[in-house]
Amino acid sequence: MNEQAQQYVEDFMARLIARNPGEPEFHQAVREVAESLAPHIVTSPILQKMKVLERIAEPERVIIFRVPWLNDKGEIEINRGYRIQMNSAIGPYKGGIRFHPSVNLSILKFLAFEQTFKNSLTTLPMGGGKGGSDFNPKGKSDNEVMKFCQSFMTELQRHIGQDTDVPAGDIGVGGREIGFMFGQYKRLRDEFTGTLTGKGRDWGGSPLRPEATGYGTCYFAQEMLATRNDSFKGKTVCISGSGNVAIYATEKAVQLGGRVVALSDSNGYIYDKDGVKLDVVKAIKLQRRARISEYVKEVPGAEYHEGCAGIWGIPCDIALPCATQNEIDGESAAKLAANGCRVVCEGANMPSTPEAIAVYEANGMLYGPAKAANAGGVATSGLEMSQNSLRLSWSFEEVDARLKDIMTNIFHNAYDASKACGAEGNLMVGANVAGFIKVAEAMLAQGVAY
């Protein structure tokens, strides 16, 4: 980056940080994009004059609300709910809902910002949004989760709709929670519309939505590997997390010929040198909602280690971080590189710190950035929206073929954009630039007051 571009980034970030103090994750996500775009912005009087990046970094609307609910003891509990309506230039706001005690404005703004670019990359007409709550679903009964979801939706319903804002799942929000929220939306609004995605397969859901993010991440990794005439065949794979994305990334990595030897949760990780038994993992996580440590009770020879970051010390060819933001720091990335890992492809959102990304680059590793590599989930949500509007349903195979196509296109668009801006193969720069262009053009066409 030349001096002028560097100065642009520093000035832009100083203003952003002053306007949004105490939001480190949001600053991190914006800085990465600003650095990729700065060389273009400094040579574009129109982007500067029209303050396109400045506008993209300011949410169109932020909704924060009280979520009171009754626990099983009849006591009142109070959580905080959020919806960030980030950008509607190319379609209705679209993005997941996260239930996790760590949820705050910074985390949801980083996710909503990323979502805007990700959704643009899918080529489907979806704007960017994200929401959630500091509610902790762990240890709560089904009844408590239902009560919470209903209270959350009682407020959220007035701000969303199939043509306005279409939420979906994220950490702590899967089929069960979407069902409870959809039920409450329908009850209050008296309408059966595609206002949420990730619905059950028999009531408007896409047959592939649960699998889509993990499958999509592997399809993306496959494209990356193909640039080196390589594939998943015979590769050792480490996957962090053991939730929705990690489970289906494991399923697809194995189908493509890889051997997944490790999975984790926020307490620790399992190592199974023979390849993890996915049916055991599914029973523990999807049916019993238990901890990944249970795995070693059922599979002799497997190991469990406390501390989730230790997973990056296991020698592997391919690492798929599928848990949470900033889970790979510079030190963990250095361990991956030293142990011969050649590919990092992100199923989670922003799982690599800037220091980790620098390590990937310095070691010539293939790096698939989240907003491109995990776009399969929201892309399939986009297909679910289309199906709901058409009142049609497509088969698993049909949606899978579309997903594969979309991931291949995202890869090529990001790759071509990286080449066009003189950084061939740098998919982070390519994804940021390709995602930005469509949103920026729509914003320019739509004028300043919207």
Q: Which is it for strands 318-321 and 343-345: parallel, antiparallel or unpaired?
A: parallel
* CA 346 from centre of chain: 9
Name the residue whose CB lies closest to ligand NDP.
243
Among residues 224 and 308, whose Cβ is nearest to ligand NDP? 308
Contact 124, 161 (CB under 8 A): no
Write the single-letter amino acid at 333.
A
Does 94 help bind ligand 2IT (rule: CB under 6 A)? yes
Residues 341-370 that bind ligand NDP (CB under 6 A): 347-349
Give the DSSP letter string of 210-230: HHHHHHHHHHHHHHHHHTTT-
Write the single-letter amino acid at 282.
K
- 197 binding partner (options ligand NDP, ligand 2IT, none; Cβ < 5 to 8 Å by kind): ligand 2IT
Tokens of 202: 């028999």
14, 22, 114: which is closest to 59 by C-alpha?
114
d(CA 295, CA 318): 22
Among residues 39 and 129, whose Cβ is nearest to ligand 2IT? 129
Among residues 62 and 444, whose Cβ is nearest to ligand 2IT? 62
State the binding string over 313-352 for ligand 2IT (x if CB under 6 A, else -).
Answer: ------------------------------------x---
Among residues 115 and 151, whose Cβ is nearest to ligand 2IT? 115
Give the DSSP letter string of 176-204: HHHHHHHHHHHHHH-----SSSS--TTTT
Residue 272: CB minimum distance to ligand 2IT, A: 28
Going by the DSSP 8-state scheme, the letter that residue 308 receives in this structure is G
Among residues 357 and 421, whose Cβ is nearest to ligand NDP? 357
Residues 101-140 that bind ligand 2IT (CB under 6 A): 115, 118
Does 106 help bind ligand NDP (rule: CB under 6 A)? no
Query: Interacting stretch for ligand 2IT, rule CB under 6 A, among 15-23, 44-52, 92-100, 331-339?
Result: 92-100
Among residues 87 and 154, whose Cβ is nearest to ligand NDP? 87
From residue 251, alpha-carbon distances to 140, 275, 363, 364 in Å are 28, 11, 28, 27
Count Cβ neighbours within 10 Å for each residue of 290-326 and write b for 16 or more, e otherwise: ebbbbbbeebeebebbeebbbbbbbebbbbbbbbbbb
135, 208, 220, 209: which is closest to 166 by C-alpha?
209
Among residues 237 and 378, whose Cβ is nearest to ligand 2IT? 378
Tokens of 351: 């799982």
- Find the binder of ligand 2IT among 131, 377, 430, 435 (CB under 6 A): 377
Question: Tokens 């440590």 identify what position?
Answer: 293
- Find the binder of ligand NDP among 112, 126, 239, 308 (CB under 6 A): 308
Does 378 help bind ligand 2IT (rule: CB under 6 A)? yes
State the binding string over 232-261 for ligand NDP (x if CB under 6 A, else -).
Answer: ---------xxxxxx---------------
The DSSP H or E segment spanning 20 is none
Residue 49: CB minimum distance to ligand 2IT, A: 32
Does 96 help bind ligand 2IT (rule: CB under 6 A)? yes
Residue 253: CB minimum distance to ligand 2IT, A: 19
Catalytic residue among 94, 109, 118, 130: 130
- 324 binding partner (options ligand 2IT, ligand NDP, none; Cβ < 5 to 8 Å by kind): ligand NDP
Does 410 help bind ligand NDP (rule: CB under 6 A)? no
Number of alpha helices (DSSP H) and beta strands (DSSP E) in the chain: 17, 12
Does 322 help bind ligand NDP (rule: CB under 6 A)? yes
- Full strand arrangement of the beta sheet holding 259-264: 303-306, 268-271, 259-264, 236-240, 318-321, 343-345, 366-368
Contact 376, 407 (CB under 8 A): yes
Look up 130 and say whether it is catalytic.
yes
Residue 128: CB minimum distance to ligand NDP, A: 13
Does 95 help bind ligand 2IT (rule: CB under 6 A)? yes
Residues 48-87 that bind ligand NDP (CB under 6 A): none
Catalytic positions are 130
- The residues of the shown chain that bind ligand NDP, judged by CB under 6 A, are 169-172, 174, 213, 241-246, 265-267, 308, 322-324, 347-349, 374, 377
